[in-house]
Amino acid sequence: MTIAALAQVSCDIAGTRSRKKKVALIATLLGSLDPASKTVAACYLAGALPQGRIGIGPSLVRTVRRGLEAPSADAAQQPTGPTLIEVDALFTRVKAIAGRGAVARRTKCLSELLAPLSDTTRDFLSNLLVGGLRQGALEPLVVEALAVSLSLPIPAVRRARMLTGSLVATVATALEGPDALAAVRITLFVPISPMLAKTGESIEAALDKLGDGPWVETKLDGARIQLHKDGERVAIYTRQLHDVTARLPELVALAATFAAEQCIVDGEAIAFDDAGKPYPFQAVMSRFGSRQPTARSLKLSARFFDILHVDGVDTLDQPLSCRRAELERVVGPLATDAAQALSADMVATRLEAAMLAGHEGLMLKANDGLYAAGRRGATWLKLKPFHTLDCVVLGVEPGSGRREGTLSNLHLGVRDGDGFAMVGKTFKGLSDALLAWQTERLTALTLEVVGYVHVVRPELVVEVAFDGVQDSPTYPCGLALRFARVRRYRPDKKASDADTLARLTELHESARSRRGVVDNAPLQ
């Protein structure tokens, strides 16, 4: 299959908002390909390269595209051209380029690849390389389509993706058939996509939804980590499954205290001051960016709230009550301070205590809930004392006055089907340091400047606090955030982790049902 043919399929996928039709299109395509091409196509339609990062970023792509001549008249009709396997092999060679003159050689390779192609194919490859492919075929849809194309159970293929940590490995396993899928187990030092939480409307609603005796624990304002241990070997992975072991020696040392030879535990990296108050999230994340911690670096600790594997036994399919007992046995005092919720008053008291201690809020978890790796499970609900939303930065406007020379006013979006819906702007809540970082980061992500607005690659996730949701004639989605202000950036999250327009609509309808009172909104 040629890359031009795949680009056309991507356009077809983008042309429908129906999830069912997208899956059908991808399944039909994958079903027509040989195994090697199937792997490449699955990755490309999911917006990723099998090789990971290959050293080509937005700046290089823009430079190459500006230097290209308009495609020839027959480029759009070309029946031949590079195949998926040929493009994949080229990207493998590009990744291996290093040393003096590397940028020039990468530029030459990309120019030669794009020059004979049509605009449609050029756009497809350019967006793929910079992480801007927006045809709505996110990886979960590709995984589902893969199962359909091979007549395999979707949950089995989805589970294999979560446990192998790789779409490439998932395709290879699925091609071997049902027995191979059933044999997939947790592998130490292959990170597992973390389970995520939904937002609770209120304490009472959360308790009603989770059934009898849910667990309540403090929601720490830290950085999500997953720690793997096998004897003296320890590895630590981020929420996005990046290996940060070398940067966190004090957390590696904690594993020596565990009462297990082998384990995988899920938790939060956090730091406390001398008074026992937690440091802000940004301070913790700054340590993750320090490749060589020094004696003056912020000292981290950790608290763990789940266990997925212990001494040869996978525990993620056991109910939380069993996992909790094993967790406390293995990590002892490093387990979060969880207890079973006996009443709404008890939860309210614990929430107040958590906030006074400087934490984010609470987590409520169903007693019999399983660990839904890589998914936002309905058995975990987070409660916060104000509305927050994870938005994607879609654009930014230059600052004025004392902020002249910066990129200040953010255009905020939420996920809406295969794209993003703009729901507000804000320049509030930015410290000078955060403003400087934001300016540098968004400059690098800028795709084009339209008037005075920098249109940026939809990649950066920002958590905003807001007072409510209101009808809006300004934005096509019809909704806007009231008094949005930046709480923090979330470098640990991808754009696919951002909140949805459906979630915002739920909040709006909930506020209307309470006679429009949004300033005293329920706990989020």
Task: Give the span between the Cα atoms of 133 and 123, in whole angstroms.
Answer: 9
pLDDT tens per residue across span 157-185: 998 998 888 899 999 999 999 999 999 99
Does 79 score more than 60 pLDDT? no
pLDDT tens per residue across span 47-67: 999 998 899 988 899 899 988
What is the CATH code of the structural domain delimited by 387-513? 2.40.50.140
Task: Give the span between the Cα atoms of 478 and 149, in whole angstroms.
Answer: 38
Does 472 score more than 80 pLDDT? yes
Judged on CB neighbours under 10 Å (0-12, 13-18, 19+), 173 is buried
Residue 81 tokens read as: 């051209």
In this predicted structure, what is the pLDDT of residue 378?
A: 85
Q: Which residue has the tokens 């060589």?
A: 292
Does 130 score more than 90 pLDDT? no
Task: Give the span between the Cα atoms of 369 and 317, in whole angstroms.
Answer: 9
pLDDT tens per residue across span 235-266: 999 998 899 999 999 999 999 999 999 999 99
In this predicted structure, what is the pLDDT of residue 310?
A: 98
Q: How many percent of the chain have pLDDT more than 70?
A: 95
Q: Span 195-200, mean pLDDT?
A: 88
Delimit the CATH 3.30.470.30 region(s) of the chain: 196-383
> Helix 84-96 to helix 3-14 angle, to the nearest 10 degrees?
100
Q: Are 297 and 287 in contact (CB under 8 A)?
A: yes
Is 219 an active-site residue?
Answer: yes
pLDDT-derived band at 521 (thresholds 50, 70, 90) equals: very low
Which range among 7-16, 472-481, 503-512 shows the weakest confidence by mean pLDDT?
503-512
pLDDT-derived band at 135 (thresholds 50, 70, 90) equals: low
Q: Span 220-245, mean pLDDT?
A: 94
Which range among 139-148, 228-237, 325-334 shows the weakest confidence by mean pLDDT?
139-148
pLDDT-derived band at 104 (thresholds 50, 70, 90) equals: very high
In this predicted structure, what is the pLDDT of residue 524?
A: 35
Residue 56 tokens read as: 């080509």
pLDDT-derived band at 515 (thresholds 50, 70, 90) equals: very low
71 vs 408, more confident: 408
Does 511 score more than 80 pLDDT? no
In this predicted structure, what is the pLDDT of residue 358?
A: 85
In this predicted structure, what is the pLDDT of residue 74?
A: 58
Instruction: Report the top-level CATH class of 196-383.
Output: alpha beta
> How many residues in total does the chain contain?
524
Quote the DSSP letter at residue 345.
Answer: H
Does 518 score more than 60 pLDDT? no
Q: For residue 21, what are the contacts with CB-CB under 8 A and spacing of at least 6?
A: none
Does 33 score more than 60 pLDDT? yes
pLDDT-derived band at 338 (thresholds 50, 70, 90) equals: very high
Task: Give the span between the Cα atoms of 76 and 5, in whole angstroms.
Answer: 10
Instruction: State phi, psi for 115 to the nearest 5 degrees.
Output: -50, -50
Task: Give the span between the Cα atoms of 207 and 80, in whole angstroms.
Answer: 60
In this predicted structure, what is the pLDDT of residue 507?
A: 81
With CA atoms as reference, report the closest residue to 382 among 504, 516, 210.
210
The winner for highest mean pLDDT among 146-155, 164-173, 504-513 is 146-155
Q: Are 268 and 223 in contact (CB under 8 A)?
A: yes
Measure the N-to-C terminal CA separation of the chain; round to a whole number of Å: 48
In this predicted structure, what is the pLDDT of residue 514?
A: 44
In this predicted structure, what is the pLDDT of residue 286?
A: 83
Delimit the CATH 2.40.50.140 region(s) of the chain: 387-513
Does 312 score more than 60 pLDDT? yes
pLDDT tens per residue across span 379-423: 999 998 777 899 999 999 998 888 889 999 999 999 998 789 999
Q: For residue 492, what are the contacts with CB-CB under 8 A and spacing of at least 6?
A: 223, 224, 238, 239, 240, 285
In this predicted structure, what is the pLDDT of residue 513?
A: 59
433 residue type, one letter: A
Instruction: State phi, psi for 222 to the nearest 5 degrees.
Output: -120, -160
Delimit the CATH 1.10.3260.10 region(s) of the chain: 3-181
The winner for highest mean pLDDT among 64-78, 328-342, 346-360 is 328-342
In this predicted structure, what is the pLDDT of residue 520?
A: 34
292 vs 166, more confident: 166
Catalytic residue among 22, 198, 209, 219, which?
Answer: 219
Quote the DSSP letter at residue 245.
Answer: G
pLDDT tens per residue across span 257-290: 999 999 999 999 999 988 888 988 878 888 887 7
Task: Give the span between the Cα atoms of 120 and 127, in whole angstroms.
Answer: 11
Q: Span 179-205, mean pLDDT?
A: 90
What is the CATH code of the structural domain delimited by 3-181? 1.10.3260.10
In this predicted structure, what is the pLDDT of residue 377?
A: 78
Does 78 score more than 90 pLDDT? no
The chain-wide mean pLDDT, for the chain, equals 89
Task: Give the span between the Cα atoms of 6 and 392, in whole angstroms.
Answer: 27
Q: For residue 515, what are the contacts with CB-CB under 8 A and spacing of at least 6?
A: none
